[in-house]
Chains A and B, each alone.
Chain A
Amino acid sequence: MDPITGKIERLKAQISETEVELQQLKAQLARLEALLSLPSPSSEAQANDQPTESSRKWTWPLEEEEYTRYGRQLILPSVGIRGQLRLKSAAILVVGAGGLGCPAAAYLAGAGVGTLGVVDGDTVELSNLHRQIAHNTARVGIKKADSLIQYCRGLNPEVRYVGYGEHLTPQNAQDVVSAYDVVLDCTDHPTSRYLISDICVLLGKPLVSASALRTDGQLIVLNNPPATQGSADGGPCYRCVFPKPPPADSVVSCGEGGILGPVVGVMGVLQALESIKLLAAGTGKENYQGPGEPLTPSLLLFSAYSPTPFRSIKMRGRRSNCFACSASSMLTLKELKTGSLDYVQFCGVTTPINILQPGERVSATDYKSILASGINRGSLLLDVREKEHFDIAKIPGAINIPFSTFQTKSRSTSNGYSAHLEWLPEDVSSDTPIYVVCRVGNDSQLVAKKLKDLGLDRHGERFIGDIKGGMKAWKLEVNQTMPFT
């Protein structure tokens, strides 16, 4: 299917879906209007002992339909009518409409929060759908915030939805966040994690934070109870737990590292649960009494493949020298808004690696001709992607030495000039050229450089270099009929 036909199909599906939604809304409106226009009881009816006007009037705190809709949770002691009314009067903000945000928002909408805000500047992609359960194939290409709200509205039209089709920034953070009682961090990068934590400290909002990668997840309720900067009664913020961001080049996204759908789903569902607990207990409301005794904050670790999948770690209160929430903090709303805090700078920037000389790099096209010409017969092609990528698709003849194991597998087994590496085939002569390929052309340079440093290039006698642009370039330039992961 070519892209235009695909788009047409998607639009058609989207239109029919929206029409269904429109019909549902009309039906709902008609039901409500019917209720209003009930014939007022005539005198004759009164005489016949029919219900009087006052007995027809619904005088209970929730709407009639809501007792049915929320009935199953209403009868729980931890919610009750009081908790349901608190949920109904609460405004909750979900930042990030991805793998965490989708299930979190769905459960919050289902539970009947009053207002649900959704912040996300991205659009739905096909590779999101295995885990971002509120989006669907027909909505690929539309804003995630809109798609998630569309899903939630279908689930529960009683909630007021507010979409923000942009990312949270230091400039818009105060305006967006101040209208809400509780914030959920469902984002995917350290920069947004620190920004959201800071704005929640400054505005006194509890923050339910979760993250997931590969088969692991983390969950922590931060700034709970919320308290002014310097107050020891407040719960720790993200900076108290992780004062220093991880080095930028070690930050792995779900796109690079992979993620199992239910793993991030579990974490998002737990975020919804923690939020419901907070809201039903009245957190964030003016007359909120607090838990009475200080809470011991805890961090929940989820490791899907561990025999102990859930571990709860006892955390400390606020850090006495915390940059954001301690008494000595210089962080203010004004400072945040004027951009004097550079989150990108703070978390570090990765720049594409460029450590090889042009002569040490061949393009994918050139490597193809080298192979075809047979000049470098028997040359070695080292694929340093992780094994899972290699197993999906590879260039014929490549050997796989995953980058993560390269260090340990490249300790030379003998000293001196004739270093031999354990992965190097025995029958390879010492002047056989070595080409290194990775996913997009960064790791391959590091490995090529390392091999040279180990003396394998015999002072230039042997060619060692990489394929520029990695397997991505190979697919683009040489072989389009190949999956790229």
Chain B
Amino acid sequence: MGVIPKPPQGQFNVLYFASANSFTSKDYDTLPAPLPIGKLFDELEKKHSGIKDKILSSCLVTVNLNYVDVPNGDSEDASSESSVVIHAGDEVAIIPPVSSG
């Protein structure tokens, strides 16, 4: 992962770790803010077809180094977190589980 530049005005960075990095062949993407957390996966799917099933469904998501729950339609814990909105300048990270060792 190289140097991640600050996102342009009105945007935020999404960093890709481990298998998310391999899947996208990218260290990061930049998306327009604000974005409700519940819409994040759909936006990423538009950029990287197939990423939702292959990577996002099992990964952990953070905003500014804090863990956040990402509500998805069929899950029960869609309540409290659905209000989280990603703001301009935020740093979102996609962290898939790494299991080797």
Contact = CB atoms under 8 A, between A and B. Distances in A.
Interface of A: 96, 98-101, 186-190, 193, 210-214, 216-218, 241-242, 244-247, 250-254, 257, 259, 264, 267-268, 299, 301, 303, 305-307, 311-316, 319-321, 404-405, 407-408
Interface stretch (B6-14, B31-39, B60-68, B82-90): B60-68
A188 B99 contact: yes
B65 A213 contact: no
Contacts of B59: 246
Contacts of A306: 1-2
Interface string B89-101: 0000101111111
Contacts of A99: 101
Contact of A303 (B17, B22, B58, B66): B17
Contacts of B53: 247
Contacts of A311: 65, 93
A482 B49 CA distance: 37
B1 A303 contact: yes
Contacts of B49: 407
B74 interface: no
B15 to A, nearest CB: 9
A314 B65 contact: yes
Contacts of B76: 321
Given A244-B58, A408-B25, A252 B67 contact: no
B77 A321 contact: yes
Given A313-B65, A314-B67, A407-B49, A216 B18 contact: yes
Contacts of A314: 65-67
A245 B67 CA distance: 18
A218 B98 contact: yes
B55 to A, nearest CB: 7
Contacts, number: 114
The binding surface of chain A is classed by DSSP as mixed
Contacts of B23: 250, 404
B101 A210 contact: yes
A361 B21 CA distance: 32
B30 interface: no
Nearest to B64: A314
B100 A301 contact: no
A209 to B, nearest CB: 9
Interface residues of B, number: 32
A189 B67 contact: no
A212 B1 contact: no
A479 B54 CA distance: 36
Given A216-B98, A242-B60, A250 B19 contact: yes
19 contacts: A189-B100, A190-B97, A212-B101, A216-B18, A241-B97, A246-B55, A246-B59, A250-B19, A250-B54, A250-B55, A251-B99, A268-B101, A299-B60, A305-B1, A307-B1, A315-B67, A316-B67, A321-B76, A407-B49
Nearest to A305: B1
Nearest to A212: B101
Given A301-B17, A313-B66, A314-B66, A264 B2 contact: no
Given A250-B55, A306-B1, A217 B25 contact: no
Given A189-B99, A246-B97, A313-B67, A252 B19 contact: yes
B78 to A, nearest CB: 12
Given A212-B101, A264-B101, A313 B95 contact: yes
Nearest to A306: B1
A241 B98 CA distance: 12
B96 to A, nearest CB: 6
A298 to B, nearest CB: 9
Contacts of B93: 311, 313
A482 to B, nearest CB: 26
Contact of B101 (A252, A267, A301, A408): A267
Contacts of B97: 190, 193, 211, 218, 241-242, 245-246
B60 A213 contact: no
Contacts of A218: 95, 97-98
A245 B58 contact: yes
A186 B100 CA distance: 9
A460 to B, nearest CB: 28
B66 A212 contact: no
